[in-house]
Amino acid sequence: MLVEERFSEILRVLDQQETATVQDLTNLLGVSESTIRRDLTQMNKRGLLKKVHGGAASIRINHITANRVSAVRALENTDTKQR
């Protein structure tokens, strides 16, 4: 499997599950843990995912959380904000 194919597959998994462990990706892709770790490091540098202890997380998680917090705060204290 080529590097870009692994990257695509890792991103597909993160889109579905939001997080993935090195072990899960190793089993899924049939490559060594060292290969997965190198891939995650490269993808983290490119901004494609967030590398975390033991695996990776989708970068979309942080954007979704931030948007939800902003939306909730926008609905709070509306009377005060209108004044």
12 closest CA partner among 60, 66, 67: 60
Res. 41 pLDDT band, cuts 50 70 90: very high
Looking at residue 80, its pLDDT comes to 73
Structural domain for 30, as ranges: 10-77
Domain count, the chain: 1
pLDDT digits 0-9 by tens, 42-63: 999 999 999 999 999 998 755 4
Tell whether 37 is covered by a domain.
yes
> E-strand spans in the chain?
19-21, 50-52, 55-57
Q: Which of the pair, 37 or 79, is modelled with greater confidence?
A: 37
> CA-CA distance, 78 to 34, in Å (whole number)?
52
**Domain CATH for 31:** 1.10.10
Tell whether 2 is covered by a domain.
no
**Res 30 pLDDT > 90:** yes
